[in-house]
């Protein structure tokens, strides 16, 4: 995967609304947060537009996003919120300039459309992270994790394993997002590529029978076939019938039933998705996944070569200091001899 340049103080970023409409105070709060990081912030012309459910018409939303994709001064594009609407404009976008000058695309939920499309078609990393709709007025660890990733700082996640998890280890690129959106992309040029990947999924507000349908769609469409690992984030506010037609299965039971014929690790409880704690991760970044009985870990992949290179650099630095020290001693001895002679 291609990594866009990390941000530096003074860089310019943009906020756009590719999906549902958003209130002005949420944008203002986000601008204040980004400016406190030393960034310059602009907003799309239609960021506060309203067209029934959407933040403007399809053409208006697409035009805003296209402008930011093409502007080389913009180093990151922050999507204001999810909901629905990105699917309607994805085919209107031209990524030609973006592929030549990659930049960070940030968001989650409906923005899964962009993450999946960009990763599959252009091999460029993006950031699955909370959006201005959900930013608190005071800093929390979810927004702080986004800041760290944007500025190139490493994040490592450790959290309690759930009893339904399946232990194991995996090293692969982490991709995915909202399950409903992934389901909507099936069979399209934006469909998520899970071959030799770690898949992340999260969901909110769905009926249990439909959740089951979407999980089995992943299985039937081959998304589990060559999967290295499965990470399940927040699955919240789910619904079930209260009568004889109740589905009577938990999300964990549904998932484990669908993946029972595969041996990859399954990690429940990763704190990302539609909940107050929504930790950011780089979509397409190679990670280590470790699922143990008590704890689970997700952190950037560290190869043996990387460790060796660090050790080599450390050794070279030590040798350089020794050489410098040796010549300093020679110089001091020489100076003393000259002073004694004269």
Residue 27, pLDDT > 90, answer yes
202 has catalytic annotation: yes
Residue 231, pLDDT > 90, answer yes
pLDDT in tens, 65-77: 999 999 999 999 9
Q: Which of 17, 60, 109, 128 is catalytic?
A: 109
- pLDDT score, position 331: 67
234 has catalytic annotation: no
What pLDDT band is residue 214 in, cutting at 50, 70 and 90? very high
pLDDT in tens, 238-268: 999 999 999 999 999 999 999 999 999 999 9
Q: Is this prediction's pTM over 0.75?
A: yes
Q: Which of 203, 274, 283, 296 is catalytic?
A: 274
Q: Which of 134-143, 145-154, 196-205 is predicted least confidently? A: 134-143
What pLDDT band is residue 138 in, cutting at 50, 70 and 90? confident
- pLDDT score, position 324: 72
- pLDDT score, position 139: 75
335 has catalytic annotation: no
* 3-state SS track over the chain: CECCCCCCCCCEEEEECCCECCCHHHHHHHHHHHHHCCCEEEECCCCCCCECCECCCHHHHHHHHHHHHHCCCEEEEEECCCCCCHHHHHHHCCCHHHHHCCCEEEECHHHHHHHHHHHHHHCECEEECCCHHHCCCCCCHHHHHHHHHHCCCCCCEEEECCCCCECEEEEEEEEEEEHHHHHHCCCCCCCCCCCCEEEEEEEECCEHHHHHHHHHHHHHCCCCCCCCEEEEEEEECCECCCCCCCCCCCHHHHHHHHCCCCCCCEEECCCCCCCCCCCCEEECCEEEEEECCCEEEEEECCCHHHHHHHHHHHHHHHHHHHHHHHHHHHHHHHHHHHHHHC
What pLDDT band is residue 3 in, cutting at 50, 70 and 90? very high
Q: Which of 202, 203, 206, 228 is catalytic?
A: 202
What pLDDT band is residue 303 in, cutting at 50, 70 and 90? very low
């Amino acid at each position: 995967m291609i990594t866009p340049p990390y941000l530096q103080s003074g860089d310019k970023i943009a906020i756009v609304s590719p999906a549902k409409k958003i209130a002005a105070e949420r944008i203002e709060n986000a601008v204040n947060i980004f400016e406190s990081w030393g960034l310059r912030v602009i907003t799309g012309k239609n960021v506060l537009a309203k067209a029934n459910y959407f933040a403007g018409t399809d053409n208006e939303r697409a035009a805003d996003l296209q402008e930011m994709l093409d502007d080389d001064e913009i180093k990151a594009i922050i999507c204001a919120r999810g909901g629905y609407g990105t699917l309607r404009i994805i085919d209107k976008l031209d990524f030609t300039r973006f592929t030549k000058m990659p930049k960070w695309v940030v968001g989650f939920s409906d923005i899964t459309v962009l993450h999946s499309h960009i990763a599959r078609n252009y091999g460029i990393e993006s950031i699955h992270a909370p959006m201005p709709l959900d930013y608190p007025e005071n800093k929390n660890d979810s927004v702080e994790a986004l800041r760290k990733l944007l500025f190139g700082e490493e994040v490592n996640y450790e959290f309690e394993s759930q009893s339904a998890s399946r232990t194991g280890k995996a090293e692969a690129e982490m991709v995915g997002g909202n399950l409903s959106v992934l389901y909507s992309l099936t069979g399209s040029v934006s469909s998520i590529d899970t071959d030799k990947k770690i898949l992340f999924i999260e969901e909110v507000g769905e009926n249990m029978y439909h959740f089951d349908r979407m999980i089995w769609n992943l299985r039937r469409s081959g998304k589990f076939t060559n999967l290295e690992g499965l990470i399940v984030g927040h699955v919240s506010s789910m619904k079930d019938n209260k009568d004889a037609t109740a589905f009577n299965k938990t999300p964990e039971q549904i998932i484990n039933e669908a993946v029972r014929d595969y041996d990859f690790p399954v990690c429940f409880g990763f704190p990302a998705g539609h909940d107050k704690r929504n930790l950011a991760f780089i979509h397409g970044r190679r990670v280590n996944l470790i699922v143990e009985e008590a704890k689970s870990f997700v952190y950037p992949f560290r190869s043996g070569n990387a460790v060796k290179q660090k050790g080599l650099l450390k050794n070279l630095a030590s040798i350089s200091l020794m050489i410098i020290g040796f010549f300093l001693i020679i110089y001091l001895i020489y100076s003393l001899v000259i002073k004694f002679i004269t």
